[in-house]
Amino acid sequence: MIATRIHKAALSALLIAGLAACGNDDTGREANPLLIAAKTAGSTLAGMRGGEAQEAPAPRTPEQMAAEALRVNPAPLILVGFESLGRTQVMAMTGQNGAMRTYMAPSKEALILRDGMVIGTRGLGNDLSVAEPQTEALIRAGRSGSAPRVMRYYSGDGLERPLSFNCTTGPGPAAGVILESCEGHGARFQNSFMPQGGHLPVSRQWLGPRLGYITIQVLRP
């Protein structure tokens, strides 16, 4: 049961990341964090201990991390890949306020989601205070259209600085995928979603100029 769930979720996330790499990504980062983790899983790090080189344990693959988290943690779980950091980690739900859920990693880094849509970040640095995507209804319905998106960021003086973007939504290059293409303030980004019955279980979303893109897949709703 768990193995089947992990396999299907991983395939969906890889599809989203692959599609996004073919889109209009002005950051120049086309790395898929799940693929990075998979490639490094077979490598070893050599260290010196007592004058002899020792092999460190290979990093766990995303599938292994997900399977372990599902086994030991009964809470709702997501698997998050940080493209700019080249790492993937599991986050567990630690709080809920209505439709808003806070997912946190052991490092205290957190994402705030509204049924798969990133609304804010905490503990990552250059945090997204709150996102106001008026394209959300279009994305969940898998419909084409246009609407603004406002992203508010914490500045050094503790105040929020809003960035407004003009966005359009439309079908992606593969069935079941919808793209949100946004532009403003000299920046362009493209989010990818796989809506299912109004939910967003798999996605690739842009957090901001500093944090870049992340991939998200639901392991346990």
The residues spanned by each domain of the chain are 62-220
Domain 62-220 superfamily per CATH: YmcC-like (2.40.360.10)
| pLDDT for position 1 | 60
pTM, rounded to two decimals: 0.77
The answer to whether 70 touches 5, Cβ cutoff 8 Å, is yes
* Tens digit of each residue's pLDDT, the chain (221 residues): 655 555 555 555 455 555 455 444 544 333 333 333 333 233 322 333 344 455 666 778 888 989 998 999 999 999 999 999 899 999 999 999 999 999 999 999 999 999 999 999 999 988 999 999 999 999 999 999 999 999 999 887 778 899 999 999 999 999 999 999 999 999 999 999 999 999 999 999 999 988 999 999 999 99
| pLDDT for position 32 | 36
| pLDDT for position 7 | 55
| pLDDT for position 155 | 83
